[in-house]
A and B are shown apart, each in its own frame.
Chain A
Amino acid sequence: MPGYTDPGFDTLSLHAGAAPDPATGARAVPIHLSTSFVFESSDQAAALFNLERAGHVYSRISNPTNAVLEQRVAALEGGIGAISTASGQAALHLAVATLTGAGGHIVASSALYGGSHNLLHYTLRRFGVETSFVRPGDIDGWRAAARPNTRLFFGETVGNPGLDVLDIEAVAGVAHAAGVPLLVDSTLTTPWLLKPLEHGADLVYHSATKFLSGHGTVVAGIVVDGGSFDWAREHAASGRFAELVAPYPGFHDMVFTDESTVGAFLLRARREGLRDFGACLSPHSAWLVLQGIETLSLRMDRHMANTHQVVEFLAAHGFVARVGHPLLASHPSHALARRLLPRGAGSVFSFDLKGSRAQGKAFVDALQVFSHLANVGDSRSLVIHPASTTHFRMSDEALKAGGIGQGTVRLSIGLEDPDDLIDDLRRALKAAEKASPKAGA
């Protein structure tokens, strides 16, 4: 029987991390727009700086509003704590930079958000960190890609763009056998649809810009530690993860795994990563994400119900060649999604028109309810045509290699009346069908 200290998801969504403000009685979480916090005494100041006492010093390192968000997302994910960051990309970078450096190696899913792929494939390579990409469902491929200098396995709960579902338990098993943690990007599914830590992942992060916030008003990220990976044991076995197990000269020779048996990652990530890279989150942004999380399960339920109807409509439409959602039995991840994601595999997916690049553009231009923009996870329905926008420089052949066709369209299904969404799509599909295959191509 759940009690107040064993609450359900919705109670945590509203209450985790937040009590009425002791100074004012304010029930909602106050926005602490203050760079810094007054010390009670010189002794307290020194103790805070030396991690002898816990509290806030400077908002790049921590802030009371951000701390509520961090506790709340950690609670919803089943973790031990979290760090909020300036964006989802900053959360990924913080996790990677805490665990590896020049000479390190990452094994990542090949089905990643483009920004994550850029970071791993181009930018981190410039800093001496190599990444091997494997198809997310190729379990032998994950195993074969691990090297003695591998520090991290990384994938998305549902991969971009085809929604390949990550078999978290299987990939975590391979990661742990190789002596490394599994980091999972859970942006598109949120803890309401899937809690990766329960399935064996060690670290989870979100672009909170998307469904956690849910209103398209804020850019934010957050990384959660499950407290499950034994850095000290792995260091003893292979010498890896000295960042967490050997004395750190950058912070009084602290040995993070001595300080905290389960929380060494978060200690170092905050004390080094936030301190030195500085990609902290504005408290105002943290507050906006908290507003979104209060209704997360309600919104996700509606996102999924609407997605169900839209997917069924598109799958039955004559001008649609393919719908890439695991709801459909034809999707390669259908069975895995039913097991891991019984509430649904998210509301962001792509489908292919039976048409040209020009007809794809005509489809997008004819939509009235869907907004044409480069985001997902808004309360409003969104659309983008990769071949004419995000991937417009690519040749037809290169697009095909990336799993993107001339007529591929990505949708993010929002919270509007589903009948309106379907009407809008029906009208736009008709317009695309009538448009010249070559006009404007």
Chain B
Amino acid sequence: MMELQVHGNTTWCYSAGKAFDPAKPTVIFLHGALNDHSVWILQTRYLAHHGWNVLAPDLPGHGKSAGPPPGTVEAGADFVLALMDACGLQRAVLVGHSFGSLIALAAAARAGHRISHLVLVGTAFPMKVSQALLDGALHEPLKAIDLVKRLSHSTLAPPPSTLGPGTWVLGGSRALMRRVLASNPKLNVFYAGFKACDDYRDGEAAIQSVSAPTLFILGKRDQMTPPKAAQSLIAHARNASVTLLDAGHQLMAEAPDGVLMALREFIAD
């Protein structure tokens, strides 16, 4: 792990137990709302042992990272660019999931050539969130977590996953969301993240200004961000490729190898 000072706040980054090596290319992984770095456990660990630096931060105000949680997608992008500066990174691959995919998109639009590849996992634009879910996140977060858990998964028989064989991914998602919610007693990061997704309006403009090749990894059975909801981004991207996987919204847990292989092949170019 690494601890970096970003905007004056301690930012905790998973690095798969490896020291940062300036000679290696770097992949930054951005988790979604009410998640943390650990949703990327398999993909990060593999790449870290195959020639890459990996940086999977807990977003500010989430898990082990201090600071105010990003209240907008643009604030999240500010954080990513500052994180790259704090690390002295001239160039990196950006990978984001869900809320993190919008942050990655907005950061890539502003960073120009500093982003070599952009990978948007379980993404959509607009990323609308129902008023009922926003209200639930604010007033009955534990109940709303159960709803998000249900909408984020597509199978009762996932393959060996984040904890290896014997992982019950629905339970894992719920436990992580509860833990991340409890990690910030000052501010409801559940509501903050979902509201930021719902408020984001600049997706099409952002994707048009991304110069990096962009890979969309989408779940065929995703109910949170169904593949059709990513079509406007795909249509407006300068250089898009798409991988559809047999999974729901939590693709990294439901199709860990599929996400890894698509990512590995894409960033190898």
Give A residues with C-beta under 8 Å from B.
Answer: 3-7, 11-12, 15-19, 46-47, 50-56, 62-64, 66-68, 70-71, 74-75, 78-84, 226-228, 230, 232, 247, 252-255, 258-263, 266-267, 270
Contacts and interface: CB of A to CB of B under 8 A. Distances in A.
Interface string B147-174: 0011101111111111111111011100
A253 B17 contact: yes
Contacts of A82: 166, 168
Contacts of B166: 62, 66-67, 70-71, 74, 81-84, 266, 270
A285 to B, nearest CB: 15
B240 interface: no
B172 A81 contact: yes
19 contacts: A16-B157, A19-B157, A50-B45, A52-B42, A62-B166, A63-B165, A66-B165, A74-B168, A75-B168, A81-B163, A83-B166, A227-B172, A227-B176, A228-B178, A260-B38, A262-B172, A262-B175, A263-B163, A267-B163
Given A54-B160, A82-B168, A263-B167, A5 B45 contact: no
A77 to B, nearest CB: 8
B41 A260 contact: yes
B157 A51 contact: no
A11 B168 CA distance: 15
Given A17-B156, A55-B165, A80-B172, 13 more contacts: A11-B156, A15-B156, A53-B260, A63-B165, A68-B157, A71-B168, A80-B163, A228-B178, A260-B41, A261-B36, A262-B175, A263-B167, A266-B167
B260 A262 contact: no
A262 B160 CA distance: 16
Nearest to A17: B157
A5 B165 contact: no
A51 B163 CA distance: 9
A5 B260 contact: no
B257 A53 contact: yes
Contact of B155 (A19, A47, A62): A19
Contacts of A71: 157-158, 166-168
A434 B176 CA distance: 63
A136 B45 CA distance: 43
Interface in B164-207: 164-168, 170-172, 175-176, 178-180
B49 A50 contact: yes
B122 interface: no
A136 to B, nearest CB: 27
Given A5-B153, A81-B172, A259-B41, A270 B49 contact: no
Contacts of B171: 74-75, 78-81, 227
Nearest to A254: B17
B160 A67 contact: yes
A54 B38 contact: no
Given A79-B171, A253-B17, A262-B172, A18 B157 contact: yes
B125 interface: no
B38 A261 contact: yes
Given A51-B45, A70-B166, A83-B166, A5 B150 contact: yes
A78 B180 CA distance: 18
Contacts of A56: 160, 165
B179 A262 contact: yes
B76 interface: no
Nearest to A69: B166
Contacts of A270: 163-164, 166
- A52, A62, A67, A84 — most chain B CB neighbours (10 Å): A52
Contacts of B163: 54, 80-81, 260, 263, 266-267, 270
Nearest to B64: A232
B165 to A, nearest CB: 4
Contacts of A67: 160, 165-166
B165 A260 contact: no
B17 A81 contact: no
Nearest to B163: A263
Contacts of A266: 163, 166-167
B167 A259 contact: no
Interface in B95-151: 146, 149-151
Contact of A53 (B14, B248, B256): B256
Given A54-B165, A259-B38, A4 B172 contact: no
A35 B146 CA distance: 38
Contacts of B165: 54-56, 62-64, 66-67, 70
Can you list the 10 inter-chain pairs with the closest CB atoms, starting with the nearest? Answer: A227-B175, A70-B166, A54-B160, A74-B168, A19-B157, A62-B165, A67-B165, A52-B46, A80-B172, A262-B175
Contacts of B42: 52-54
B38 A75 contact: no
B244 interface: no
A266 B153 CA distance: 21
B176 A7 contact: no
